[in-house]
């Protein structure tokens, strides 16, 4: 038995359709939903629903492509494995690197935002030392939960997904009564660039499906679980986001673009405790995001260690809980340090562009893997298997065209550094052998 196979077989396959869908919802419904309506209103005004529809369509096609690739993969690593199976070891490594970097910086930003939001209630958390200790405690708790095993991490994801969904649905119920028809109007955007940048924001907000899929070695019956969980989670989140935006716009009208906390401001008009309710829901949402991120993203480091791209120690599996504890701890430390540094605001566009490039590679990989399966089996491909990646690719390229040169330069630098690390390590491994 190979070391790769034995490492994956040591993991516990305990993630079913509900658990995986909950993890995907946890990642996708992060902190962005609480500020996204205002950001889109500033970009395109009342035409923001168009950006939602374009973004949701592109992401739906990407989800179908991921479903096709994920159902054919039973190893941990997610996009890293999809791209490696289609193109080889080095492209797969770059896909995994982009996945991990984007998710690590995103989790650091969400953790910082969570502690900073709590600082509005507990002013002592605004002090640098107290803030750093709070972040360290936050990541320590999340690491402890995940080291206890995949079942504990999945239960956390499921519980927080239910809690945040309930809070947002309560917002829909309470704030819908305050919607004024005159605020629901349509103005066609004056600039294609504006709708393009708005779509970038929507896709960034809907991104994250790839993170839970990184725990492929712990997903039960991937051929059935992955497609059901992906499509169910994508449909739920897309409808939820659009509904919330329309309600926020209907309540705040033109004031939506000026709001810093649009959902809290809207619900504050319904009751005195509306703002507190949304702040609590936001905290739960961000905490759930962090738990889901740790459950999925740490498995990329596990996969790199398993395949010898990084130290083999990262592929260690705890004998009691059967969780990849070393990968979890390393990911936790790096994300915590990034959160404490407070520099993610400068690197957020890098994460966004990295995600788009990753999705592009995975769509091409899904198409190639489906063709290989069809040739091997001699059977015709399902039309959706062919069309989903081919339609997603031009959509992703259109969104990429609205990224800026500095963002491309930053991502290019990351890819160059990652490539150098890979080739140096490969040379050292060959020399040792």
Q: What is the DSSP string of 280-299?
A: HHHHHHHHHHHHHHHHHHHH
Place of tokens 């949402």: 285
Place of tokens 């079942």: 151
Q: Please state which of the ranges 6-10, 137-141, 235-239, 401-405 shows the lowest mean pLDDT.
A: 6-10
Predicted pLDDT of residue 133: 93
Quick one: tokens of 136?
């360290």
Task: Check if the beta carbon of residue 44 is closer than 8 Å to that of residue 50.
Answer: yes
* DSSP run (H or E) holding 361: helix 344-377
Give 12 or 311, the one with higher predicted confidence.
311
Quick one: tokens of 170?
């309560």
Give 352 or 392, the one with higher predicted confidence.
392
What CA–CA distance (Å, rounded) separates 198 from 206? 12
- Using alpha carbons, select from 97, 166, 149 the residue that is nearest to residue 309: 97
Task: Check if the beta carbon of residue 114 is closer than 8 Å to that of residue 287.
Answer: yes
Strongest mean pLDDT among 131-145, 266-280, 333-347: 131-145
What CA–CA distance (Å, rounded) separates 167 from 11? 34
Say if residue 347's pLDDT is above 70: no
- Using alpha carbons, select from 308, 358, 312, 348 the residue that is nearest to residue 97: 358
175-201 pLDDT, tens digit each: 888 888 888 877 776 666 778 878 888
Predicted pLDDT of residue 77: 55
Neighbours of 381 (CB within 10 A): 16
CATH of the domain at 330: 1.20.1740.10
Q: Please state which of the ranges 104-108, 212-216, 223-227, 385-389 shows the lowest mean pLDDT.
A: 212-216
Q: Please state which of the ranges 5-9, 202-206, 305-309, 328-332 shows the lowest mean pLDDT.
A: 5-9
The torsion angles phi and psi of 219, rounded to 5 degrees, stand at -90, 130
Measure Cα distances from 202 to 1, 126, 183, 198, 199 in Å. Answer: 44, 30, 21, 6, 5
Strongest mean pLDDT among 52-56, 286-290, 378-382, 426-430: 52-56
Task: Check if the beta carbon of residue 86 is closer than 8 Å to that of residue 80.
Answer: no
HSE on the CB side for 85, CA within 13 Å? 27
Say if residue 395's pLDDT is above 60: yes
Q: 360-378: b or e for each residue (b if 16 or more CB lie within 10 Å)?
A: bbbbbbbbbbbeeeeeeee
Give 18 or 30, the one with higher predicted confidence.
18
Task: Check if the beta carbon of residue 25 is closer than 8 Å to that of residue 229.
Answer: no
Task: Check if the beta carbon of residue 59 is closer than 8 Å to that of residue 355.
Answer: no
Give 35 or 252, the one with higher predicted confidence.
252
Ramachandran area for residue 221 (φ above 0: left; ψ -120 to 50: alpha; else beta) = left
Predicted pLDDT of residue 1: 45
pLDDT mean over 130-138: 92
Quick one: tokens of 212?
């839970």
DSSP-assigned letter for residue 343: -
Say if residue 109's pLDDT is above 90: no
Place of tokens 């989140």: 237
Say if residue 82's pLDDT is above 80: no
Say if residue 124's pLDDT is above 70: yes
Collapsing DSSP states into helix, strand and coil, what is residue 64?
A: helix
156-173 pLDDT, tens digit each: 777 777 777 777 888 888
Task: Check if the beta carbon of residue 201 is closer than 8 Å to that of residue 39.
Answer: yes
CA dihedral 91, 92, 98, 104 (to 10 degrees): -160
- Using alpha carbons, select from 104, 160, 130 the residue that is nearest to residue 334: 104
Average pLDDT, the chain: 79
Say if residue 265's pLDDT is above 50: yes
Say if residue 138's pLDDT is above 90: yes
Provide the pLDDT confidence category of residue 66 given band limits of 50, 70 and 90.
confident
Residue 344: which residues within 8 A CB-CB, separation 6 or more?
A: 105, 106, 108, 109, 112, 338
283-331 pLDDT, tens digit each: 887 887 788 778 777 877 887 788 777 778 888 888 877 888 899 999 9
Say if residue 208's pLDDT is above 80: no
Strongest mean pLDDT among 137-141, 215-219, 285-289: 137-141
Task: Check if the beta carbon of residue 295 is closer than 8 Å to that of residue 153.
Answer: yes
Residue 198: which residues within 8 A CB-CB, separation 6 or more?
A: 40, 43, 44, 48, 51, 189
Say if residue 385's pLDDT is above 50: yes
Give 161 or 134, the one with higher predicted confidence.
134
Strongest mean pLDDT among 20-34, 120-134, 268-282, 286-300: 120-134
Predicted pLDDT of residue 6: 47
Quick one: tokens of 243?
């509904």
What CA–CA distance (Å, rounded) separates 260 from 224? 41
DSSP-assigned letter for residue 207: -
Say if residue 222's pLDDT is above 90: no
Say if residue 425's pLDDT is above 90: no
pLDDT mean over 19-39: 77
Query: Which domain range does residue 25 map to?
Result: 3-432
How many structural domains does the chain have?
A: 1
């Amino acid at each position: 038995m190979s070391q790769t196979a034995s490492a994956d077989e040591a993991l516990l396959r305990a993630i079913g359709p509900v658990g995986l869908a909950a993890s995907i919802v946890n990642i996708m419904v992060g902190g962005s939903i609480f500020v996204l309506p205002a950001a889109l209103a500033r970009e395109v005004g009342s035409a923001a629903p168009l950006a939602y529809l374009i973004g949701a369509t592109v992401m739906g096609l990407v989800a179908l492509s991921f479903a096709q690739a994920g159902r054919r993969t039973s190893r941990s690593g997610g996009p890293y494995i999809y791209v490696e199976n289609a193109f080889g070891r080095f492209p797969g490594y770059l896909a995994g690197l982009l996945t991990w970097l984007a998710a690590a910086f995103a989790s650091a930003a969400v953790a910082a935002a969570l502690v900073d939001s709590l600082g509005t209630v507990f002013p002592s958390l605004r002090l640098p030392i107290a803030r750093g200790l709070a972040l360290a405690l936050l990541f320590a708790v999340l690491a402890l939960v995940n080291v206890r095993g995949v079942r504990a991490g999945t239960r956390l994801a499921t519980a927080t997904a239910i809690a945040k969904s309930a809070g947002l649905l309560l917002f829909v119920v309470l704030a819908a009564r305050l919607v004024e028809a005159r605020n629901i109007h349509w103005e066609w955007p004056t600039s294609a660039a504006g709708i393009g940048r708005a779509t970038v924001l929507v896709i960034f907000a809907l991104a994250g499906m790839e993170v839970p899929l990184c725990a492929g070695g712990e997903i039960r019956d991937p051929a059935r679980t992955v497609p059901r969980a992906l499509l169910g989670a994508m449909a739920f989140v897309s409808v939820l986001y659009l509904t919330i935006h329309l309600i926020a716009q209907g309540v705040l009208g033109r004031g939506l673009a000026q709001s810093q906390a649009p959902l809290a401001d809207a619900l504050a008009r319904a009751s005195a405790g509306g703002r507190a309710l949304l702040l609590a829901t936001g905290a739960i949402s961000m905490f759930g995001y962090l738990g889901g991120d740790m459950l999925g993203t740490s498995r990329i480091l596990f996969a790199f260690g398993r395949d010898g791209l990084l130290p083999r120690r990262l592929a260690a599996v705890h004998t009691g809980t059967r969780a990849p504890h070393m990968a979890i701890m390393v990911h936790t430390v790096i994300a915590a340090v990034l959160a404490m540094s407070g520099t993610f605001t400068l690197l957020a566009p890098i994460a966004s562009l990295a995600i788009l490039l990753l999705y592009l590679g995975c769509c091409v990989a899904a198409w190639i893997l489906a063709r290989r399966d069809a040739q091997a089996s001699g059977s015709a491909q399902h039309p959706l298997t062919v069309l989903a990646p081919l339609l997603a690719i031009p959509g992703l390229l259109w969104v990429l065209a609205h990224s800026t040169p500095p963002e491309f330069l930053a991502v290019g630098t990351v890819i160059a550094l990652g490539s150098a690390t890979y080739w140096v390590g490969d040379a050292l491994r060959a020399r040792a052998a």
